[in-house]
Amino acid sequence: MDWTPGGLSRDVEDRRGSSGGFGGGGIGIVGLLFLVIISLITGRNYIGSYLSGGGHVATTNSRPATSSAAEDRSAQLVSYVLDDVQHEWETLLPQQANQAYRHAKLVLFRDYTRSGCGTAQSQTGPFYCPGDEKVYIDLSFWDELRRIGGSTADFAQAYVLAHELGHHVQNILGIDQHMRQLQARNPDAKNQLSVMLELQADCLAGVWAHTAAQRGKIDQADVNDGLSAAAAVGDDHLQKMSRGAVSPESFTHGTSAQRQSWFTRGLQSGDLNQCNTFETKANGSF
């Protein structure tokens, strides 16, 4: 993958050095003592209110605030990809969907932080929160991706971020909200609808990859790395690793083959209108 390391994008919030990974959300020991005093004076349980609202008490850093050269490079890579993906969608979305694109933010954190969707934890992996329109990622996720057999080459990391920004595109287009409404009306189809949403995000990642290929930024070896990452996070692969068996009814993201197929569809077409996974139910794909 052709890219140049540099600084961090203005759309990146780097919370890696924050105490406990809060990035302004944690109150620390001093803040805790203040809440204790106020609670005693007023008779109101401010500590309980804070914790029930998703707050945590930050005591010490679980990791040092400093970062390794490898982590800094990874941060610069995802920052580069963030800007590149968003720059392309600024053109693609008006052209293909007659909709203006608005930028999402990328939050880098360690261990846990607060998000518009609740507490973000490294164990959950990268995710997009429509509540605050931010992508959250602990860069240690690449270690986990390697553990489950996925490539962690540059374009594999780019695929992961492009997938999350695909969710942002869905949010802008109202697809995410529509899917939530469908889930509310038909709870039995909740997982199936989730699979459709995730596969569409894979396809949208492929649409961006199409532009990267056209600009000479990636080659077939890079595409293979992205496909490796897509396969590693397939529901069937993950369930085989963790349980030794597969339960299709519990899938929420799609199989390895489905994720690769929809990414490839976006890559080959470069057209977000080819990413309507919600129509495939009638075709028997699900």
Nearest partner of 196 among 126, 266, 285, judged by Cα: 285
The pLDDT tens digits for 97-151 are 999 999 999 999 999 999 999 999 998 899 999 999 999 999 999 999 999 999 9
Check whether 255 has a pLDDT greater than 60. yes
- Write the CA distances from 133 to 18, 27, 59, integer angstroms: 21, 24, 29
- Concatenating the DSSP letter of every residue in 100-121 gives -----EEEE-SSEEEETTEEEE
- Split at pLDDT 50, 70, 90, the class of 284 is very low
Q: Please give the sequence-ordered ranges of beta strands (E in DSSP) within 112-258, or none if there are none.
A: 112-115, 118-121, 127-129, 134-137
Task: Report phi then psi at 128, rounded to 5.
Answer: -105, 135
d(CA 106, CA 26): 19
Amino acid symbol at 171: N
Check whether 68 has a pLDDT greater than 50. yes
The pLDDT tens digits for 24-66 are 444 444 444 544 554 455 455 544 444 444 444 333 333 445 7
d(CA 154, CA 146): 13
Instruction: Give the DSSP H/E element, type plus range, for residue 13.
Output: strand 12-14
- Write the CA distances from 238 to 14, 193, 255, 285, integer angstroms: 30, 19, 9, 20
Q: Write down the domain spans for the chain.
A: 23-57, 69-283
How many residues are present in the chain?
Answer: 286
